[in-house]
Structure 1
């Protein structure tokens, strides 16, 4: 996951209501069907394979992952799309695109202070030490003086030609000026506090430079331990280091792999799961790759054994984070019209006892992304405060939360949520007015570091996430009247619970001097969100259904009545 903050100014939208004819719904407990099949073994074994490689689009590890997925899909009964018959409902394809820049991979690296007998860093033990897109140094390395740059202003006045910069801030603030002034490379330390660097002294969070096919400016990121050694030497006076970086930069192609289980009744409507391959870690995101692959295998098995049916199409996509998902949505407008839901699997296999990262469902934008209080809280990433016009009312939030809470109770597994933050494969869905959310873990003390390895992964967590994600998807692609009615009941109850909880918080806020009208606006925002979310259950229906419409009206009247009651009660103290 490369979370890059909120997607600005998400526009309000409505969701299309399906109008194709469904068959009669048959009650199915998908948990009973999926739980015996989903062990997490394939997910774990896939994670173990993938995390061996530092994965960038087009490089060896990325491409080997694509073909590993292809082999597993083929063994599970998926047919290569180009040779598939019209009657084949399990298909996959590998999409190949030219790259207008070279791919990159690290070969080896070391950093040694002149006069020391051993390097303070070696890539064999710190594979994140080399900045992504760094070129190679000369074969025997390069020796140069290190200049400690403590501010961007300090760089402006320093003579850096032929020297190496050391900084304890983001190198992105310095590298352009450094190159212009003739520096040969940069050494940086910039590990955030949530990584607990003084505890995890050898961890290095990976860093990158812009792609530079012909450049020779390189970067090295330090662990806390290596930073302490270097700064101790720099404090004593002039310090030279020997840097040896060997990397590969070469032409390649961008690969994306897409598998489909074609729907029997509404094949043009679909759920899309997405898991990105690039990034170097095990949890991020080899676990998403592995969990999604086991989901695809089990779905195919259950379908082939005629234990389940798929009325709509279920799609599994693996590729480059955000880029592949956005392209899938944008390159085919007709296909995009039929995408009803998007679910992103990112960092889904954590051993939370080791990483500290709680399993989270990152919700579509709801009022908790405007007023974050009570039990709602952002991850360490935080999130931009949204506006009322940014809200995305839809039943997907509460449906997914309910299914995962059900599995959490069954497996004694902790399931939490966070308000919308953005930055992974769910954002392209939302930007395209498609319901989409994220399954992930945070705060992870090994996030983006070279200690994010297989020993931080839990097969049990992979099983819990994969099982519930697949069960949820099966209910969605087979949804109809009963599903819609069930969601009305669920949403009504969750709306009442939310309003009552928010009322208690607002009551305390007013008692503490907060503006009464502001608290009323908040309560009404939740009313508005839920009443609109309930209406979206119609997208599960082939056509208008009077029973569903009746239940929607009654539920929304109950929500409105509850809001009115709470607002009047909230006003009472101000009238005394």
Structure 2
């Protein structure tokens, strides 16, 4: 009976002239004839050029290094990017002429702490023949910011604790602490009580540790320029062997860690393609360099680099222009992006969109998971149901005041789905969760979203190497991301009209889906008021997303204002009818 009501609403929608996107093609054509330009198929010009080869080769170079701000691998990556940009036609900003539209700069800043890099490490249970761990095969075993032991190593007894409270009653002075928990809970007290170092194990279940027994997820200590503490993270296999020995009695380990801590400077590299018509308006792509893995985030670095070089090639061949500025930023995750937004308020006012590339090169047949677009906060981050689901990363339940309605969500999803259909490539979405370079954009009230993969069973582990990377995936992500960017920086009236139709179509589908989910929820004890609230939240989100289209068009085109107004009325009508059908 209830499903019949929903279907009746669909029939009413058609009778009332509330039409799907296909019907609007003639309308779009008529309107676009009044604009300056006809829409361009950017897929046609990008697909032949974007092969993923530079992205893959860059990833292969970058992932060789354990990267943290200021260290050898991080800085070599910066200079590799600079060399590639220069070869593609970008001019060092300090040497650029006013007429140079393709420029780059390397920003240098003093660091308040020393940088750090691992050299070697070995862990052995005293009395056994073979090492428990070696950095040659487990390069994540040494905690970031660990100090070096004496060159011949350090021998000490292991004290095993099951809870933080045990530290109050157990003597650990000059001993090694072992615990199956996050070191942040133990570090300060362990140092105060005189422990020389710590062994920990806390690989999450989504890493499938009993299958990937040698994987170690990298861990870090607080920066300690004058400190003398070290930490080693254990694999599942190493943890099991250590526990078996501890059950037999007193256990000593021989630890040999060699690291480098030294003063350095923080480098960030920024490349700009200056807009020809609206140079102060810009799209910013961001990919962070730090973190030691291949997929996380050498693939983001490499894919974004090929996007920047492909963009230069397309311009040089007169295949496209850039009406607005397109910016590519590589640096320290979240920190560099936040600073780029905050340090220049005039520039920040012109940032219209932000897109983060993080873990974009997965060979999903090996790593698991799928490619995801993490949406800007929408009601699926409040009511996560139906086809929406969080990744294993997880996300807090948001509130209505946290919503960020904008056409960018549905535009990016639609563009990537188009590439997915073309390449037989799976594209999914997840509700907002945070934790990468898209968050500074959103915190500054700039539309921003994340391109990524999850779950990856090798995430943050020393098994995240080049054999887990797919050139084809980077080709797909880079193609769709660059096409999206070209659409945005060259957006005009025809683009605005297309987004109106896209939002209207997706709003209609979403509202109908939510109404059906509400019918099921009512049968399980939900209330009419609660279900109406959900549908209303989606209605208001899409109405506001339509309003956001006003930041695109440039001619005061009355057809666009009329189309937005008409689309809003249609969405309101659909919502009203669907809520009535719940009675």
TM-score by length of 1: 0.95
Of 529, 535, 543 in structure 1, the residue corresponding to residue 547 of structure 2 is: 535
Q: Does 1:314 align with 2:326?
A: yes
What is residue 26 of structure 2 aligned with on the other side?
none
Report what 2:12 is aligned to.
Answer: none
Contact 1:403 1:472 in 2 (8 A): yes
SS at match of 1:235: helix
RMSD over aligned Cα atoms: 0.9
Pick aligned residue for 2:558 from 546, 560, 567: 546
Give 1:237's match in structure 2, choosing from 249, 255, 259: 249
Does 1:515 find its partner at 2:523?
Answer: no
Please identify, of 537-546 and 46-55, the stretch whose mean Cα deviation from structure 2 is larger: 537-546
Aligned to 1:415: 427
- Cα displacement string for residues 8-48 of structure 1 (whole angstroms, at most 9, x for unaligned residues): xxxxxxxxxxxxxx992232100000000000000000000
Q: 1:500 aligns with which of 512, 519, 527?
A: 512
Match of 1:429 among 434, 441, 447: 441
**Residue of structure 1 aligned with 2:54, choices 18, 42, 62:** 42
SS in 2 for 1:350: coil
Equivalences for residues 171-250 of structure 1 within 5 A: 171-250=183-262
Choose from 471, 480, 490 the match for 2:483: 471
Matched residue, 2:291: 279
Counterparts of residues 375-454 of structure 1 (less than 5 Å): 375-454=387-466
Query: Which residue number corresponds to residue 369 of structure 1?
Result: 381
Cα distance between partner residues in 2 of 1:28 and 1:201:
50
**Are 1:157 and 2:154 an aligned pair?**
no
**Local SS of the residue matching 1:400:** helix
Matched position secondary structure for 2:435:
coil
CA shift for structure 1 position 543 = 4.5
Change in 2 beyond 3 A, CA 1:141/1:228: same
SS at structure 1 position matched to 2:582? helix
1:102 maps onto 2:87 in alignment: no
Rounded Cα–Cα distance in structure 2 between residues aligned with 1:218 and 1:553: 62
Deviation for aligned residue 1:117: 1.2
Number of the residue aligned with 1:339? 351
Residue 357 (structure 1) shift: 2.2
Aligned to 1:77: 89
Q: SS of the residue aligned with 2:241?
A: helix
List per-residue Cα deviations over 1:391-442 (Å, max 9, x = no partner): 0010000000000000000000000000000010000000011000000000
Do the aligned residues in 2 keep the contact of 1:538 with 1:544 (CA within 8 Å)? no
Verify the 8 A CA contact 1:109 1:244 in the aligned structure 2: yes
Q: Deviations over 1:543-574 (max 9, x none)?
A: 53210111111111111000110111101xxx
By relative contact order (CA 8 Å, sep 6+), the higher-ranking structure is: 1
- Residue equivalent to 1:457: 469
> What is the rounded CA distance, in whole Å, between the counterparts of 1:298 and 1:346 in structure 2?
19
Q: Report deviation, 1:481.
A: 0.5
Stretches of structure 1 lacking an aligned partner (at least 5 in a row)? 1-21, 572-576
Per the alignment, residue 492 of structure 2 pairs with 480
1:251 corresponds to which residue? Answer: 263
Residue 535 of structure 1: how far off its partner (Å): 1.0
Structure 1 partner of 2:316: 304
2:25 aligned residue:
none
Query: Which residue in 1 is equivalent to 2:371?
Result: 359
| Whole-angstrom distance in 1 between the partners of 2:394 and 2:255 | 36
Query: 8 Å contact 1:259–1:315 — kept in the other structure?
Result: yes
* Contact kept? 2:35, 2:493, Cα under 8 Å: no
Distance 1:56 1:434 in 2: 27
Q: Distance in 2 between matches of 1:509 and 1:99?
A: 54
2: distance between equivalents of 1:23 and 1:134?
61
Per the alignment, residue 153 of structure 2 pairs with 141
1-structure distance, mates of 2:215, 2:195: 26
Q: Does residue 113 of the first structure (1) align with residue 125 of the second (2)?
A: yes
TM-superposed deviation, 1:542: 1.9
1:389: Cα distance to partner? 0.6
TM norm structure 2 = 0.94
Q: Does 1:92 align with 2:117?
A: no
Query: In the alignment, which of 567, 571, 574 is matched to residue 562 of structure 1?
Result: 574
| Residue 268 (structure 1) aligned to one of 280, 288, 292 | 280
CA distance in 1, matches of 2:140, 2:168: 29
Unaligned residue ranges in structure 2 (runs of 5+): 1-33
